[in-house]
């Protein structure tokens, strides 16, 4: 049970090492699931095991039962050809945190690391692509254990900086990917929606599965300011004065409209759109991945 606490962002923040973070998040998540998430969608048989209460009866190997008169369940070795790409937005805005605890970027890395961990432990190949105005780094997908280390070390080195051009970058990525893959985008999407949606459609059209993790800061979701505020856009340097108190409701509406636009577009293109903020536990995001994975079999 103790491991589950690491699903909470404020707890995981206390762990500095990213590999541990990934491990804790993933293990905490898995432990929280009553049934193994991996059952049923791997094809390669690995071993038989004595049935113990709690196993799914449908997994009982009736042939073995016929021969031995004992209950055995089949164990499967996960084996998949899903290639996952963790796509990280490096824009300056991702480095924002209102409470000075966990930036959106930290959250995204944590999530990405956990996903990477999960995938590696499933022996799925995982690659990593980062971009700002264009693609910066890319790590070719591998499913070896060492790949996790490489992914994590690269993630640990990332710093959010500069302006971003999501649409362009995504189009670039779409061009880069040769095989049918699962593209997991970590971004706050704070840019013009239309080019991004176009690019996402392009990705989808390329046959890729896409999960968009839309990560916002808690403050960006709730707009918890009061009185007159002078807001500064870290990317463009633009400033705006507003009366926050009266504006909160309108902001929330604007945000909802913004999210709805993406949600709608993603739904039409059968893209998974996961709305997250830095206060939400990680399991929501992880579950999304798993559901997506399962749906492919």
Partner 1 sequence: MAFLNYSLLWGAALLAIPIVLHLMLRQQPRSLVFPALRLVRQRQESNRRQLQLRHWLLLLLRCLVIALLAVALARPSVRSPQWGDWGFLGLQFGMLVIVGAMALLALLQGRSGLVRGGLLAAVVLLCVSLAWSVRAARISVEETGLGSQRGPVAAVLVFDTSPRMRYVWQNQTRLEQAAEIAGWLLGQLPSGSEVAVVDSRPAAAAFAADRSAAARSIERLETTWSPVPLPQVLARALELVRTSSQPRREIYTFTDLTRGAWTEQPAEGLASRLAEADDVLLYVVDVGSERPQNTALGELQLSAEVLPQRSELMLEGSVSRVGAGESATIELYVEQPDPELPLIENGRTRVPEAQLRDQRIVELEEGESRGLRFRLSGLELGTHQGWLEIAGQDGLEFDDRRYFTVEVQEALPVLVLAPPGVNTRFFTEAVAPFEFRETGRAQYACTVMEQAQLPNVSLDDYAAVCLLDPTPLVPLDWERLLGYVQRGGGLGIFLGHNAEPSAFSGEPARQLLGGDLSRPWRTAGDVFLTFRDLSHPVTAAFRDVATAVPWDQFPVHRHWGLDEILDTARLVMPYSNHQAALVEVTGHRGRVLTMTTPVSDPLRPAGRSSWNELPTGSDAWPYFVLVNEMLAYLVDAGGVRLNYLAGETAVLPNARDRRPERYQLFTPLGQLQEVTAVDDQVSVRFTSLPGPYRLKGHRGGPVVRGFSVNLPETASCLERLDREALDPILGPDRYHYARDQQEIVWGVGQARRGREFYPILILLVALVLGLEHLLANRFYRPAE
Q: In the complex, which residues of this chain contact partner 1 (CB under 8 A)?
A: 92-93, 96, 188, 190-191, 216-217, 219-220, 224-236, 238, 240-243, 245-247, 250-251, 253-255, 258
C-alpha Rg value of the chain to the nearest Å? 21
User: What are the φ/ψ torsions at residue 16 (nearest 5 degrees)?
Assistant: -85, -35
Check if the beta carbon of residue 10 is closer than 8 Å to that of residue 108: no
Q: Which is nearer to partner 1, 52 or 100 (CB)?
A: 100
Q: Which is nearer to partner 1, 53 or 227 (CB)?
A: 227
CB of 134 to partner 1, least distance (A): 20
Q: Which is nearer to partner 1, 18 or 221 (CB)?
A: 221
CB of 297 to partner 1, least distance (A): 38
Residue 266 to residue 273: CA distance in whole angstroms: 6
CB of 127 to partner 1, least distance (A): 27
Residue 189 to residue 196: CA distance in whole angstroms: 8
User: What are the φ/ψ torsions at residue 115 (nearest 5 degrees)?
Assistant: -65, -45
CB of 199 to partner 1, least distance (A): 18
CB of 13 to partner 1, least distance (A): 20
DSSP single-letter state for residue 73: E
Reported as type and span, the H/E element at residue 118 is helix 104-121
CB of 186 to partner 1, least distance (A): 15
Helix pair angle (104-121, 283-294), 10° resolution? 40
Start-to-end CA distance of the chain, whole Å, equals: 30
Residue 86 to residue 99: CA distance in whole angstroms: 26
Q: Which is nearer to partner 1, 19 or 220 (CB)?
A: 220
Q: Which of 80, 47, 74, 39 has the alpha carbon at shortest distance from 60?
A: 74
DSSP single-letter state for residue 203: H
Q: Which is nearer to partner 1, 36 or 245 (CB)?
A: 245
């Amino acid at each position: 049970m103790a491991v589950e606490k690491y699903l909470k962002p404020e707890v995981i923040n206390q762990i500095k090492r990213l590999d541990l973070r990934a491990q804790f998040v993933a293990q905490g998540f898995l432990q929280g699931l009553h049934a193994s998430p991996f059952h049923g969608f791997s094809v390669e048989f690995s071993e038989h095991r004595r049935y113990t209460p709690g196993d799914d009866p449908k997994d009982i190997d009736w042939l073995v039962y016929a021969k031995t008169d004992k209950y055995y369940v089949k164990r499967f070795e996960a084996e998949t050809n899903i290639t996952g790409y963790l796509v990280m937005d490096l824009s300056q805005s991702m480095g924002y945190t209102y409470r000075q605890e966990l930036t959106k970027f930290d959250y995204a890395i944590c999530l990405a690391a956990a996903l990477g961990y999960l995938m590696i432990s499933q022996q799925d190949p995982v690659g990593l692509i980062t971009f700002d105005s264009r693609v910066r780094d890319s790590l070719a997908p591998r499913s070896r254990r060492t790949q996790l280390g490489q992914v994590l070390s690269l993630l640990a080195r990332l710093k959010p900086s500069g302006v971003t051009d999501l649409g362009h970058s995504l189009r670039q990525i779409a061009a880069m990917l040769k095989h049918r893959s699962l593209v997991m985008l970590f971004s706050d999407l704070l840019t013009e929606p239309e080019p991004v949606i176009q690019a996402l459609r392009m990705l989808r059209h390329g046959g890729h599965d896409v999960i968009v993790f839309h990560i916002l800061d808690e403050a960006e979701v709730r707009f918890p300011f009061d009185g007159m505020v002078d807001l500064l856009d870290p990317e463009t340097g633009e400033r705006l004065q507003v009366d926050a108190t009266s504006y909160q409701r309108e902001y929330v509406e604007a945000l909802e409209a913004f999210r709805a636009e993406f949600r709608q577009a993603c739904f039409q293109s059968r893209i998974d759109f996961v709305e997250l903020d830095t206060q939400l536990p990680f399991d929501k995001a992880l579950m999304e991945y798993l559901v997506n994975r399962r749906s492919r079999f």
